[in-house]
Amino acid sequence: MVDRLPSGVEIKGEITPEFAEILTHGALALVARLHRSFEYRRQEMLAQREQIAKQFDLGLRPDFLKYTASIREADWKIGKLPKDLQCRRVEITGPVERKMVINALNSGADSFMADFEDSNTPNWHNQIQGQINMRDAIRGTIELNQNGKIYKLKDKVATLLVRPRGWHLDEKHVLVNGRRVSGGIFDMALYLYHNANALLEKGSGPYFYLPKIESHQEARLWNDIMSMAEAELGLARGTIKATVLIETITAAFEMDEILYELREHSAGLNAGRWDYIFSCIKKFKVDQEFCLADRSKVTMTAPFLRAYALLLLKTCHRRNAPAIGGMSALIPIKNDPEKNAIAMQGIINDKKRDATDGYDGGWVAHPGLVEAAMKEFVAVLGDKPNQIEKQRPDVNVSAQDLLDFQPETPITEAGLRMNINVGIHYLGSWLAGNGCVPIHNLMEDAATAEISRSQVWQWIRSHKGKLEGGTKITAELVRDLIPQELEKVKASVAAGGVTALGTYDRAAKIFELMSTSRNFEEFLTLPLYEEID
């Protein structure tokens, strides 16, 4: 047990002896200090999001901000990058589960983004055990004995970055003065308190990925939190570095401003494509002229995604900031050489495009993809750690380019069924504690599940939401298909050895509600979080 909780702090989750090593008085005092200083501003940011969402529903179209034009036009750079953040050709990502952490750090990737967010179910056990795994990995002591096989770290491992939860997520097990704390502040504070000095002693530092940011004001809030944390822990200003995921349509119009707000703490931007697609659907959900085709048809060559990717690249390199490409959801397919060859070629094409465009690195979701992705970046970069010197004066992206939402067709019955199937399968796994799930030879996380349910919701309401042949997608059609897809999901997971299938029944009900109800839930993880321990 924790010897003594800081004043005003309550813990609603179990505190095992091992968890108590993370939930120390000092660590929780830092959480409480940051909560009391910044919770009001976080709530203001969330309220601002709601207001902007309402404006989008009334027809608002985003544009580059007039009052920040001087920032976009001025010649400034981000702060100097630490040596181990200068070479990020391949970054592997995954949840903070112990085996994944070991395998990812050993994978041969330059960096590993350990994820407390979209690929992780944020139950109490996962969050605190994840912190234990981070502590042990940084000190080189992390090991796992699984079925007689010993997993431990190699001598050379990837640089560690951590993604805390986004602004919308609370940590319901920790209260300060009776109020839930921010999940993101909780994740960051515990990690910093226990690991910042150990990382610096190793010649590295505390590095983060910041998710779901919608404006430069939200970036400013993160910057102020990091500055206060540095002061509280006696760290030099700018010790903490953070890469921002540009995964909302509003943030795409404020990339310069986001880098500027974080410039002393900035480690660049990442093209978080899946959440970005979800953000576009969410923001334009009631626009009768907005409609995207089957998810599989919306690739990085689509006009709006191509414009976004090139603008991010140009913006970053102008500011001496790394530009990191996003995630292809493809994964190796072990038992089908023909399908595996197609998947591997998809990965190669994705990384080749990023490297040729000028990106400094890109993401993969599986250790088996690191080598193929690395070859594409090395083919362009050679021995150079990055290609920040590659400016793109030829790139000129307008607001209209970012809003050129194509393709609109085809929408197929197979695509509709796939969205339903993936949504049920993922939600069922998430409720069971696993937030990173291979489904139909793709690695799915909360972002891709969000696309599945938001597309169905939007297709029902758009006059363009018609299947090939002209059949209108309706709530009744979706309700008819859900039981059929639920049975397929259950058969699939049972074949994989899963015996507890109750979460999938619950997932089907949740998916039906979220995709057919009148109101659109901002994030599917918000109501789901209330159902887990």
Burial 153-168 (b: 16+ CB within 10 A, else e): beeebbbbbbbbbbbb
Which amino acid is present at 492?
A: S
d(CA 438, CA 445): 9
Q: Residue 314: how many CA atoms within 13 Å on its side-chain side?
A: 14
Q: Choosing from 110, 118, 350, 445, which is the catalytic residue?
A: 445
d(CA 501, CA 135): 34
d(CA 407, CA 79): 39
d(CA 410, CA 468): 7
| DSSP one-letter string for 276-308 | HHHHHHHHTTT-TT-----GGG--TTSHHHHHH
Pairing type for strands 90-95 and 361-364 reads: parallel
Q: Is 273 helix (H, G, I), strand (E, B) or coil?
A: helix
Residue 136: active-site member: no
Residue 163: active-site member: yes
DSSP summary character for residue 369: G
**What distance lies between CA 461 and its chain's CA centroid?**
27
Q: Choosing from 98, 163, 273, 319, which is the catalytic residue?
A: 163
Computed from CA positions of residues 442, 452, 497, 151, in that sequence, does the dihedral angle turn out positive or negative? Answer: positive
CA angle 371, 86, 444 (to 5 degrees): 50
Show which residues are catalytic.
Answer: 163, 445
